[in-house]
Amino acid sequence: MKKRHMLGTLLVSSFLLATAGCAPAAEPAEAPEPVVITVEVPVVVEKEAAPEEAGPEELAPLGPVTLKFAGWTYDLEKVQQNSDKYVDWVAEQAPVPVDVKIDWSDAGFGEFDTYVTTTFAGGNSFDVLYGSDHWLAKWAAAGWVVPVEDYFPEIRDYVTDIAPYSVEAMTYDGKLYGLPYYTDVMYFFYNKTMLEEAGIASPPTTWDEVTEQSLILMDKGITSQPFMVGLKAGAWFDEGFFALIYSEGADLFDENFEPIFETDSGPVYDMIEYIAASINDTGIVPTKVLEMTAVDVQQAFKNGDAAFVIVPGYMVREFNTPGISKVAGQAEVSMMPGATHATDGYSRMYVMGNGALRDEATKVASWELIEFLGGKTTVDGETGYQIAKRWAVENGLGFSILSLWQDPAVEKAFSAMADTSVMQAQKELAISKDGISAPWFAEWISYVRTEVQKALLRQEPTESVLENIKQQWLDLKAE
């Protein structure tokens, strides 16, 4: 009897252990409808009123509200400073003053999508949050983030000021969902000193040249792992992979999301085969790139381990900073090798969570936070993209605000780090990830990571991997 009792207890316990926590904490609301706000404040009219004629101080501030603001962990001190500035600005200088407090929370970039997913699926929400191009479609399809232009049509005024690939990345179903936090492209950096030591006059312009030069560097004992690109299964994989295939002119889908890439030849096939050969045959790419993110690759380059790397532009600042880089002064940027020299451009953005729609004051404050951080604001009489400029000048973060390239402070900061003419030229060839506006993209790309890794390790032929990838896309689309 006792034994039967024990068996029962163990069976139940094991069941609990396996299943508890695999479902969302609470039944979320039904599919979020576009929220109807019954109390409308004439926000646009007030914004357009000249401050001199109807100064913000004459308007009673809305609120108080506490904005739930979430982002990934990066330079939290600066995030705090920017938030504090916003709180002061929105209370006194904003077009519609609001009495705001900010409730900030953060998670690592790699875990941020999960953090957001569990929050919203558990029935909670954020008012403003960081977003990224490869999550936007998923979040928007779920109704967790809302199209800002439905509530604040003036956001469209920014479209002409932002690089097209970035606008595309922030758009879902034809609607603009936010403003840029930072946007960057994947660049090809090389170690000038290593090349000089090897007697190489100029950086490679094709992938065959990358191989040739890498083999020379290896032969001369300058480095044993010349070329690195982060291909660990995760968000950085996507940027590296798309940079590689775009450099050879890949085009994955047509406007109807029909796959148009070939599975036995063409740029996608060729680049997967190239990297597989570089890992398994020539050895110019170490196997460890499959467990490296772009941040790890950056570290390896700073340590002087690699001669060629593909990393986002914002990392160049650290490459050439003495004290934190062993190769300071040696890092140079070059156009991406390949047939077209195109690369991957990605966008991180500020988006509005559905929590912002709970009342008018929160909605207005949320939009003003997005605009303060990602748009053009007037603070203490000075008008401009102040926060984007600050991130660019102080942290070297890339931007898609085209006019910022003409800003002397930005120009000075970037030219001290790298050749800005090359960076600008590369930026013009940046392409947003193909198919990214499909709601199933996040699921598909996760599958792609696993499959492509198998081809890179030669566990499966590239042809069958590409067939699987294509079929997965079609199946998800059909769903």
Partner 1 sequence: MQSPYERKRFRQTSLFAYRIILPSLVFILFFIAYPLLYSFIVAFKEYKYGVPTGKIIWFQNFIDIFTKSTVAPGFYNSLVVTMKFTLVAVVAVVVISLAIALLINQQFRGSGLIKVALLLPYAIPGAVSAVIWAWIYDPSFGVMNGVLNGLGIIDEYITVAADPRWALWAILFAYVWKFVPYSTFLFAAGLATIPSSVYEAARMDRAGSIRAFFKVTLPLLRPVLQMVLVIQTIFALVMHFGLVFVITQGGPGDATRTLAWLVYVESFTFTRFGRGAAMAIILALIMIVFIYLYLVVLNPERRLKRREAP
Residues numbered 302 to 361 that lie near partner 1 (CB under 8 A) are: 303, 305
The DSSP code sequence of 250-317 is ---B-TT--B---SSSHHHHHHHHHHHHHHHTS--S-GGGGG--HHHHHHHHHTT--SEEEEEGGGHH
Nearer to partner 1, 228 or 310 (CB): 228
| Residue ranges with strand state E in 125-254 | 128-132, 145-146, 171-172, 175-176, 178-191, 227-229
- Find the shortest distance in angstroms from Cβ 208 to partner 1: 25
Q: Per DSSP, what are the bridge partners of residue 334?
A: 188
Q: How far is the CB of 189 from partner 1 (least distance, A)?
A: 18
Among 73, 287, 415, 421, binds partner 1 (CB under 8 A): 287
Upstream peptide bond of 312 is cis (omega within 30 degrees of 0): no
Site for partner 1 in 117-136 (CB under 8 A): 117-118, 120-121
Q: Whole-number minimum distance, CB 330 to partner 1, in Å?
A: 19
Pick between residue 85 and residue 449 the one whose CB is nearest to partner 1.
449
For residue 54, the tally of other CB atoms under 10 A from its CB is 13
Least separation in angstroms between CB 469 and partner 1? 11
The reply to whether 21 sits near partner 1 by the rule CB under 8 A is yes
50 forms part of the interface with partner 1 (CB under 8 A): no
Please, what is the minimum distance in Å from the beta carbon of residue 296 to partner 1?
8
Instruction: Please tell me whether residue 6 binds partner 1 under the rule CB under 8 A.
Output: yes
| 3-state SS class at 6 | helix
Q: CA angle 82-37-130, nearest 5°? A: 30
The SS3 of residue 322 is strand
CA–CA separation, 59 vs 428, rounded Å? 44
CB of 21 to partner 1, least distance (A): 7
- Which of residues 180, 226, 230, 286 is near partner 1 by CB under 8 A? 286
Q: How far apart, in Å, are the Cα atoms of 68 and each of 89, 128, 208, 427?
A: 18, 7, 50, 33
Strands (DSSP E) along 177-232, which ranges?
178-191, 227-229
| 58 vs 475 by CB, closer to partner 1 | 475
Question: How many residues belong to the site for partner 1 (CB under 8 A)?
Answer: 67
Binding part of the chain for partner 1, among 6-14, 179-187, 206-214, 266-274 by CB under 8 A, reads 6-14
Residue 234 interacts with partner 1 (CB under 8 A)?
A: yes
Which residues, numbered 77-116, are part of the site for partner 1 (CB under 8 A)? 113-114
Choosing from 164, 295, 447, 461, the residue that interacts with partner 1 (CB under 8 A) is: 447
User: What DSSP string describes 360-416?
Assistant: HHHHHHHHHHHHHHHS-EEETTEEE-HHHHHIIIII-----BGGGGG-HHHHHHHHT
Dihedral of CA 243/244/249/250: which sign?
Answer: negative
Residue 393 near partner 1 by CB under 8 A = no
- Min CB(110)–partner 1 separation in Å: 8
Stretch that binds partner 1, among 34-42, 189-197, 263-271, 282-290 (CB under 8 A): 282-290
Q: Give me the residues that bind partner 1 (CB under 8 A), please.
A: 3, 6-7, 10-11, 13-25, 27-28, 30-32, 113-114, 117-118, 120-121, 138, 141-144, 224, 232-234, 286-292, 296, 299-300, 303, 305, 439, 442-443, 446-447, 449-451, 453-454, 457, 459-460, 471-472, 475-476
